Structure 1
Amino acid sequence: MELLDPRIDLVFRGIFGVERNTDLLLDLVNAVFIDAEQPRVSQIMLLNPFNLPESANEKTSVVDIKARTESGMVIDVEMQVANLRDIVPRSLYYLSRMVSDQAFSGFQYRDLRKTVAINILDFRYFSSDRDHTVFRLRDDLGEVVYPDLLELHFLELPKFDINKWEYTRRSLSRWLAFFRHGGGERGKEFMMNDPMIQKAQAELERLSHDPAAREAYEARLKWLNDYVSAMGQARDEGWEQGLQEGREEGRQKGREEGREEGREEGRHQGRLEGRTEAMRDVVQRLMMQGWQAPRIAELLGISVGDVERISSMSSD
C-alpha cells in the first residue's frame, strides 16, 4: 500500500500531535532549536491534541500543533502546503495572539513567557538558499536579542538537498529528509540508527493502513487540489483581465500617436506598450503578494532579468 504523504497536515498532526508521540514532537522541536543555536527543551505538553474525526472536515489549508515546555514557553508548529503568499505577516499575527492568550486574572507583564512559531513550508518563500530562516527581536546596531520573547522559524522543504554531505551531521536534516522522502529509498539513510525517525516512519505506516485516516486523507487532498485550482483560476482570470485592459489602453494610445506620427506605427507601438504595462501590473501585483522573481519568470515564461526589469518600471 502506498504510504500517505507526511507533508499533508492531517498526516503531520496524526504523527506529531498525539499524546503517545510527544517524544517525536520534542525531538523535532529540539532539532529546530539546535540548528538555530538555541537551548534544547526537556519536556513538552500538547495543548491541542489531534483528533481525526474532528479534523477530517476542516476547511482550511492550515494545521498547527500547540505545545508548552517545562519552562512555560509556548510553541506552535505548523505544516503549510498551500502558499498563502502572506505567510510571514500571518504567522506574526498568530504569534502575537499566542502572546496575548497568556493573559489571565492578575496577570503581570513580567509573567510573559517566550512564544515560538515553527512553520514548515512545502514551497519556496524567501529568496535566500537557506532552508531554515529565523526571525527574532534584535537591536539594530548590535547582536543583542531583547526581549527574547518572540521567535519565528521557517523551514522551506524544497530547499533541502538530501545530496549535500554537510547535512548528514545536522540533526534537523533527518526530519527534513523524512518530510520530503518519508517511506522512500532516498530517506532510508537518514533513518538508520535514529529511533525517533524510525518511530515516525512506523506511525506513518500505521496511519497509511488505517481506513479512516486514508479516507480523511483523500478528502483532504481533494480539498487542497480544489483550493489550488481555484487560486490558479483566479490568477489566470486576473492575468487575462490585465492583458485585456493593457491591450485596450495600448490601442487607444496607438490611435493617439498614429494621428501624429503615422497610424500604423502608432497602433503597433501602442499595442507593445499596452502589453508591457499589463505585464508590469501583473508582475508588481505578484511581488506584492510575496512571489519571488524566479517563480514569476517560470509562470510568465520570461527570464528573471525581465521580471526584475519590468517590476522596476514606473507606472507613470
Structure 2
Amino acid sequence: MSRVLLSPKVDFVFKRIFGNEQHPNVLISFLNSVLVPADPIQSVELKNSDIEKEHLEDKYSRLDIKAITNKGEHINIEIQLRNEYNMIKRSLYYWSKLYEGQLGEGDNYNKLAKTICINLLNFNALSNQKFHNVYRLKECETHEELTDVMELHFIELKKMKEIKNAKDIQSKLEAWLLFITNPESELIQELEQVQVEIREAKEELIRMSSDSKERERYEKRKESMLEKVSLLEGAEQKGIEKGQKQKAIEMAKKLIDKGLDNEFILETTDLSILEIEEIRKNRD
C-alpha cells in the first residue's frame, strides 16, 4: 500500500524539495514563476542546503532557503504555517540581515546587490484579496521607485482561488502553489505529465515520503512546530484572560464610583469579594 505523501507546507519538506542541490531546476522554475523577470534566472547557488538535526528539533529555528542567482540577486524563501502576527516586521528584519551580510569590513556599498524575500504564508496576513503581493521602496505621492534593491513578496496560500481544471491555471506560480498545497491532487497528476520541474519535485516528494529516515525527521519537525504552536496559544490565552480581567477591574471602579454595593459588582464583573474590596479601598 502506498504511503501518504509528506506535506510540502512543512518547512522541512519544502526546503528538501526547493532547496535541493540535486534539483536546481525546481528552485529556478519556482523563482521565475514568482519574480517573472524579463531576463529569466538561469542558475542558482544555494547558500544553506544542509538541515542539521538541532534545527529540526528547535521550535524557533527557521528552515528557510537562501540562494544567489546568476544575476547576483540574494534571495531568501520562507514558508510559514501559522500566523504569529509579526510577519511584516519579521520579513523586513531578515531582509535587512541578508542585505547587510553582503558586505565585509571595508567593502564598498556599490557591492550591495538586489535582495529579495519571498514569504509563503498558510494564513491571511494582508488586508487585500490578492494572493501574491510585491513591495518595494517608492515615493508616497508620486509612487516613483527609489530603488529595486529591496523587494518583499507575500504569497498567501488561502487566498488562491479554487482551480478545478488545468486549463483554468493562469500562471506557473499558480501551478507551483497547487503542488505545495495538494501534491496528490488529480490536477498535479495532470500537470506533472507536461511540466518537467513539477514532475521532478513530485518525484523528490515521493522519494522522501518512502524513506523511513526522512519520515522520522519530518515527524520530529512537526512535533517541534506543534510545541511552538502550543506555547504561542498558551501565551495568547493568558493575554486574553489578562485583558478580560483588566476590563472587569475598570468596570468595578466605575460601579464603585457610582455608589453601588459589593453584591451588585460581584454579579456584574465576576470578580471576587476580596478583589472588589481591594479596589474599593484603593478608590477611597
TM-score for the superposition, normalised by structure 1: 0.77
| Alpha-carbon spacing, 1:118–1:144, altered in 2? closer, same or farther (3 Å) | same
Please give the secondary structure, in 1, of the residue aligned with 2:177.
Answer: helix
Residue of structure 2 aligned with 1:22, choices 2, 21, 24: 24
CA distance in 2: counterparts of 1:247 and 1:219, whole angstroms = 42
In the TM superposition, what whole-angstrom CA distance separates every residue of 1:56-98 from its partner, at most 9, and x where no partner exists? 3343253211111112111111111232211111111111111
| SS of equivalent residue, structure 1 residue 146 | strand
Match in the other structure for 2:253: 252
**CA shift in 2, pair 1:103/1:167, >3 Å:** farther
Q: Which amino acid aligns with 2:102?
A: Q
5+ residue gaps, structure 2, are: 271-284
1:123-272 matches, within 5 Å, as: 123-163=123-163, 168-259=169-260, 267=265, 271=269
What is the deviation of 1:39?
4.3
Give the corresponding residue for 2:122.
122
Q: For the Cα contact (< 8 Å) 1:174–1:191, is it kept in 2?
A: no
Q: Tell whether the 8 Å contact from 2:115 to 2:149 is kept in structure 1 after alignment.
A: yes
- For the residue of structure 2 that corresponds to 1:158, the secondary structure is helix
Q: Residue 169 of structure 1: CA displacement? A: 2.2
SS in 2 for 1:234: helix
Is structure 2 residue 36 aligned with structure 1 residue 40?
no
The 1:130/1:214 distance shift into structure 2, 3 A limit, reads same
Higher-helix-fraction structure: 1
The CA distance in 2 between the partners of 1:211 and 1:60, in whole Å, is: 25
In the alignment, what sits opposite 2:83? Answer: 83
In structure 1, distance between residues paired with 2:234 and 2:105: 49
3-state secondary structure, aligned to 2:141: coil
Larger RCO, structures 1/2 (Cα 8 Å, 6+ apart)? 2
Deviation at 1:154, TM superposition (A): 0.7
SS of 1:134's partner is strand
Please give the secondary structure, in 1, of the residue aligned with 2:50.
coil
Name the CA distance, whole Å, in 1 between partners of 2:170 and 2:193: 13
- Give ranges in structure 1 of 5+ residues lacking alignment: 273-316
1:4 maps to what in 2?
6
* Rounded Cα–Cα distance in structure 1 between residues aligned with 2:134 and 2:11: 22
User: 1:272-294 deviations in whole A, cap 9, x for unaligned?
Assistant: 9xxxxxxxxxxxxxxxxxxxxxx
Q: 2:168 and 2:86 mapped to 1: Cα distance?
A: 29
Distance across 2 between alignment mates of 1:111 and 1:2: 47
Q: Which deviates the most, 96-105 or 21-30? A: 96-105
Deviations 1:106-136 (A, max 9, x none): 4211221101111111111111111111110
Contact kept, 8 Å, 2:58 with 2:224, in 1: the verdict is: no
Match of 1:94 in 2: 94
| RMSD, aligned CA | 2.6
Partner of 1:288: none
SS at match of 1:20: coil
Aligned residue type for 1:193? V
- Greater shift, 20-29 or 42-51, is seen at 42-51
Identity %: 32
Change (3 A) 1:59 1:234: closer
CA–CA distance in 2 between the matches of 1:55 and 1:205? Answer: 23
Q: How big is the shift at 1:140?
A: 2.4
The answer as to whether partners of 2:164 and 2:187 remain within 8 angstroms in 1 is no
Q: Distance in 2 between matches of 1:123 and 1:61?
A: 19
1:270-285 equivalences in 2 (<5 Å)? 271=269
Give the distance between the partners of 1:72 and 1:230, measured in 2 at CA: 39
Q: What is the deviation of 1:209?
A: 0.9
